[in-house]
């Protein structure tokens, strides 16, 4: 008893359809896996970019804090106050805690930056000694430039005079040409 040809064709077609469905599912799985890998790589790159930016901004803020602390210490014209030192230690501990946490700030608070800039501007006072030193430096620089020009001119003049003296000495050592005799031969 043989199976009718229509039933074997149906079994073959069903097997082919199942194979096509399996291949399609495998293709989609591989495509989804590639897509997930691409997205993970993109997110990792974004995270590294954000980390670098955060570190740059932190370094800028740490430098700004250091400059402000130095400015306050210089304005005090005396030993730094113990309270200021304690406050600085607290600030450093706070920053250390912020850095060691896994939280990433979205952006720096503009009010904080503006406040820091106002502190810098209000703490800054014109310094007459600095402007006087800048003026003295400019004058010294100009004098040095004029001195360099004078030395260059003197060297060039000495070189020219030396060459002329050597030419004159060579001219004196060479025998003088005898005057041409006309008609004696």
35 occurs within a structural domain: yes
170 occurs within a structural domain: yes
- pLDDT for the residue 22: 92
Among 34, 61, 78, the domain-final residue is 78
Q: How far apart are CA 70 and CA 61, in angstroms?
A: 14
What is the per-residue pLDDT across 99-151, written as a single tens digit (0 to 9) for each? Answer: 766 666 556 677 777 776 777 666 655 555 667 777 888 888 888 888 888 88
- pLDDT for the residue 1: 47
Q: Percent of the chain having pLDDT more than 90?
A: 8
Lowest-pLDDT range of 14-28, 43-57, 63-77: 63-77
Question: What is the overall mean pLDDT for the chain?
Answer: 76
Residues 91, 65 contacting (CB under 8 angstroms): yes
109 occurs within a structural domain: no
Q: How far apart are CA 174 and CA 165, in angstroms?
A: 14
Q: How far apart are CA 165 and CA 159, in angstroms?
A: 10
Lowest-pLDDT range of 32-41, 50-59, 122-131: 122-131
pLDDT over threshold 70, residue 2? no
- pLDDT for the residue 127: 55
Q: How far apart are CA 166 and CA 97, in angstroms?
A: 80
Higher-pLDDT residue of 81 and 115 is 115
Highest mean pLDDT among 20-24, 155-159, 172-176: 20-24
91 occurs within a structural domain: no
Q: Domain limits at 145?
A: 131-174
- pLDDT for the residue 128: 58
Domain count, the chain: 2
184 occurs within a structural domain: no
Instruction: Identify the residue whose tokens are 């897509």.
Output: 35
- pLDDT for the residue 27: 94
CA torsion angle 111 112 114 117 (round to 10) = 170
Highest mean pLDDT among 21-25, 60-64, 109-113, 158-162: 21-25
96 occurs within a structural domain: no
141 occurs within a structural domain: yes
């Amino acid at each position: 008893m043989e199976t009718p040809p229509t039933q074997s064709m149906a079994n073959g077609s069903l097997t082919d359809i199942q194979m096509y469905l399996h291949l399609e599912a495998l293709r989609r799985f591989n495509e989804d896996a590639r897509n997930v890998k691409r997205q993970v790589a993109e997110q990792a790159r974004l995270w590294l970019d954000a980390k670098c930016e955060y570190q740059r901004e932190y370094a800028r803020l740490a430098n700004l804090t250091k400059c402000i602390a130095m400015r306050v210490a210089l304005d005090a014209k005396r030993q730094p106050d113990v309270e200021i030192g304690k406050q600085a230690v607290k600030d450093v501990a706070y920053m250390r805690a912020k850095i060691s946490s896994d939280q990433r700030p979205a952006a720096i608070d503009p009010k904080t930056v503006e406040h820091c800039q106002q502190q810098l501007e209000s703490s800054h006072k014109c310094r007459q000694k600095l402007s006087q030193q800048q003026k003295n430096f400019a004058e010294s620089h100009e004098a040095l430039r004029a001195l360099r020009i004078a030395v260059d001119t003197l060297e060039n003049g000495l070189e020219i005079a030396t060459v002329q003296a050597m030419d004159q000495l060579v001219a004196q050592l060479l025998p003088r040409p005898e005057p041409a005799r006309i008609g004696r031969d």
